[in-house]
Amino acid sequence: MPKRAPTPPPADDTRFFTVVNPYPEQPYMTLDDSRRFTRWITCIIGEDHLLAFYHKPKSPNVVLIETLKIGPDFDRLMGEHRWSEFLKKPSPAESREVSSIFPCTLATSRMVQKAGWVCRDVSSSWFRKWSPQTDRYAVSRLLLARPLY
């Protein structure tokens, strides 16, 4: 029996980040929450750089995001994001919340899927007739004051 050809290595053109306590919490539950989450991340790194996000049923308060490897300065994405600083009208409970974003230890989409993460692709239709300036939820003056790239 002939030997099977080896699987080619995956393309190394994406990067993964871990988001702990994302806004909104559990953004994979409803389509509206998914849109709000991706629009928040888009305000930081730009629409063209966000490819997908992943969730895991056993990790309800953690989301992974997949971005292009080449793009804006990802230092702006990483770190602590206080909801009171980027939400336009946060409730008292939301004002106390903080999201943390840091590099993910999983390097490829195959590794992410093998670890049990479920992919939610980002649709370009989520950004039609939307701009950071007109977003009703997750864009404050602080995010708009800084350039996206």
Question: Do the Cβ atoms of 8 and 98 come closer than 8 Å?
Answer: no
Q: Which residue type occupies 104?
A: C
Per-residue model confidence as pLDDT tens digits over 83-142: 888 888 888 998 899 999 999 999 888 899 999 999 999 988 888 888 777 777 766 544
SS3 (DSSP) at 114: helix
- CA triplet 92, 99, 95: central angle to 5 degrees? 10
pLDDT single digits (tens) 31-81: 889 998 998 898 888 888 999 999 998 888 999 999 998 877 788 889 999
The closest alpha carbon to 21, from 81, 65, 66, 88, belongs to: 81
The alpha carbon of residue 121 and the mean position of all alpha carbons in its chain are separated, in whole angstroms, by 11
What's the CA gap between 68 and 124, in Å, rounded?
Answer: 15
Token readout for 42 is: 């888009």
pLDDT at 24 over 90: no
Query: Does pTM surpass 0.85?
Result: no
